[in-house]
Amino acid sequence: MEDNISTSKPRFVVSTTLFIIFIFFLGHIGLVNLYKLGKVPTALIAVVLLIMIVNLIIWQNKHRFFPLILGLLLWAVLGEIAEKLSLVNIVNFKNIFFLITILFLSYYLIHNNLLSEFLMIAIVFFLTIWTSHFVLVNSFEQFGKTNIVTYLSSFVFLIFFVYFTTKIYKLGNLLGLTLHTIFITCTLWSILEYLWAWKLIPKLWQ
């Protein structure tokens, strides 16, 4: 990815953030309506999404939005549809060591430059969604919506949001900007999830 983009940095960050939010909304609405059709159509769509995932991995189009699409498709299949079909629930608290193992393995691959930038962005996006969702869901399920632990977890997301937002102004390359924009958007979305759960703000799609 090209460097020296200081003049277009705000536009890049805003456009990437809006695109992530857009595919979040699109994915949510799509899955909600898909689940209404039953498990067989859901399973068939999962197969189609898996084919798309394989094609994206092989193709690795250089447009900056394609790795984000791949990351979301990975989450849709492995995180959402797999749970709906009662195959596996990767956000279940029992799978915490599996999540930690995947995080360490991914860090090793990224740190040693064993992944292309395309796959790096896709995997980081997928893992950021998974980790934030894991914390969010288990905060509510293990402690309840009004427990001090849940409040603290939401505050941690807020700290990360402020940290990554502040740090992004010091970055000067597209890869760093993309990764930090992912962190900013996912932490922002998680904060919104807390606010929606506490019914402090209405859900935008309702």
Sign for the CA dihedral angle at 12, 161, 131, 110 comes to positive
For Cα atoms 17, 138, 160, give the angle at the middle one, nearest 5 degrees. 40
Closest to 181 measured CA to CA, from 43, 96, 64: 64
Longest dimension (CA), the chain: 49
Q: What confidence score (pLDDT) does residue 168 get?
A: 86
For the beta carbon of residue 111, count every other beta carbon within 10 angstroms.
Answer: 9
The answer to whether the CB of 172 falls within 8 A of the CB of 6 is yes
Single pTM value for the model: 0.93
Q: How far apart are CA 135 and CA 150, in angstroms?
A: 9
Q: DSSP H helical segments within the chain, as ranges? A: 9-35, 39-59, 66-75, 82-84, 96-111, 117-143, 148-167, 174-197
Whether the pLDDT of residue 202 is over 90: the answer is no
Query: Would you give the DSSP letter of residue 147?
Result: S
Query: Would you give the DSSP letter of residue 8?
Result: G
Closest to 139 measured CA to CA, from 148, 150, 128: 150
pLDDT one-digit tens code per residue, 4-58 = 444 478 888 899 999 999 999 999 999 999 999 999 999 999 999 999 999 999 9
Tokens of 24: 């979040």
pLDDT one-digit tens code per residue, 108-162 = 999 999 999 999 999 999 999 999 999 999 999 999 999 999 999 999 999 999 9
The answer to whether the CB of 46 falls within 8 A of the CB of 85 is yes
Phi, psi dihedrals of residue 156, rounded to the nearest 5°: -60, -45
The DSSP result for 87-98, as a single string, is S--TTSGGGHHH
173: helix, coil or strand? strand
pLDDT one-digit tens code per residue, 59-96 = 998 888 999 999 999 999 999 999 999 999 999 999 99
The answer to whether the CB of 189 falls within 8 A of the CB of 18 is no
Q: What confidence score (pLDDT) does residue 1 get?
A: 43
